[in-house]
């Protein structure tokens, strides 16, 4: 499902929301999650899952084309862990 399909489904499911309002709601939710993760916070949506930030350590890797060693700096990456209810629904 793409973001535009999500907006379409949200606006079709509620007669009080038009597409523009549904797009605003979806953008507000995504911006809120993005902002919290940028600040290093954790976002938990009960029954769905949680978003957090993980620190990846610096490491050395090889360029597959030349075989040369390349240093990869440490970085922070977003991580999503599914909730129990979502796992059970997908597994059913």
| Per-residue pLDDT tens over the stretch 45-67 | 999 999 999 999 999 999 999 99
Q: Among residues of the chain, what percentage have pLDDT more than 90?
A: 91
Can you give the pLDDT at residue 92? 86
Residue 42 has pLDDT above 90, yes or no: yes
What pLDDT, on a 0 to 100 scale, did the predictor assign at position 58?
A: 96
Domain of 49 in residue numbering reads as 3-91
Whole-angstrom Cα distance, residue 25 to residue 17?
Answer: 10
pTM value is 0.77
CATH number of the domain at 83, please: 4.10.520.10
pLDDT value, residue 14: 83
Task: Check residue 45 and give its pLDDT.
Answer: 94
Give the number of domains in the chain: 1
């Amino acid at each position: 499902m793409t973001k535009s399909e999500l907006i379409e489904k949200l606006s079709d499911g509620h007669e009080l929301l038009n597409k523009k309002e549904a797009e605003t709601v979806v953008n507000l939710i995504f911006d809120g999650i993005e902002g919290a993760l940028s600040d290093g916070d954790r976002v938990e949506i009960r029954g769905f899952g949680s978003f957090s930030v993980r620190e990846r350590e610096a490491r050395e890797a090889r360029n597959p084309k030349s075989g040369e060693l390349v240093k990869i700096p440490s970085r922070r990456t977003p991580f999503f862990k599914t909730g129990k209810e979502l796992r059970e629904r997908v597994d059913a």
